[in-house]
Amino acid sequence: MNVEGFNSIFDKAVADYHLTDDVNSKCNNPYADGTLENLLYRKCWIDAVQWHLEDIIRDPSIDPAEALSIKRWIDRSNQERTDMVEYIDSYFLDKFRAVVPKEDAKINTETPAWAIDRLSILALKIYHMQIEASRTDATAEHLKKCSDKLAVLLQQRKDLTTAISELVEDIASGAKYMKVYKQMKMYNDPNLNPVLYSSDRK
């Protein structure tokens, strides 16, 4: 499996989002439904929208009502992000369902999809740090700091890509095995968030 190719998909999703740079833009996924590529593109698009929602909500002059609306949008986005990670892990579970783990097989601290989640976020960090490192209205000090940070982010992506590749190879060979735990987020569930279920009783 070419994990390096995942970065190309994420970079495309980030670039496509910035064609309009609008959180309301429709995600026109270029990859076929049911493919891993489709899931990865959708995952990164969600991340790109949420990245910019987090920027917008930090505007000191934002109207409080708009801020509340965006905060709830971010909450929904977090749930969508989690759902997408679980869809991606389901892909890997299905792909490796016939693999019999070795007797000494070990479990990893995170699943492939949660590591891929970090790879998606890195694509956004790299895109925006490249912009900051190229600004014509910034000081030389700012440009140097951002260039240094960009170099770290690029190295981090290289290392994480290698680690994910090795994890997938280990699962495919039976050296490691997957266990997926649903995230069971509580704050969105009216049966688990005491603020929500208490208000229902009033």
**109 in helix, strand or coil?**
coil
**189 in helix, strand or coil?**
coil
pTM assigned to the model: 0.89
- State percent of the chain over pLDDT 90: 87
pLDDT per position as a tens digit, 179-199: 887 765 666 667 767 766 676
| Res 98 pLDDT > 90 | yes
Cβ atoms 51, 78 nearer than 8 A:
no
Run of H or E residues at 177: strand 176-177
pLDDT for the residue 101 = 95
Q: What contacts 127, CB < 8 A, 6 or more positions away?
A: 11, 14, 15, 18
Run of H or E residues at 55: helix 36-56
Q: Output Rg (C-alpha) for the chain, integer angstroms.
A: 20
pLDDT per position as a tens digit, 54-94: 999 999 999 999 999 999 999 999 999 999 999 999 999 99
- As a whole number, mean pLDDT of residues 154-177 equals 97
Where do the domains of the chain lie?
4-200
pLDDT for the residue 59 = 95
Cβ atoms 154, 126 nearer than 8 A:
yes
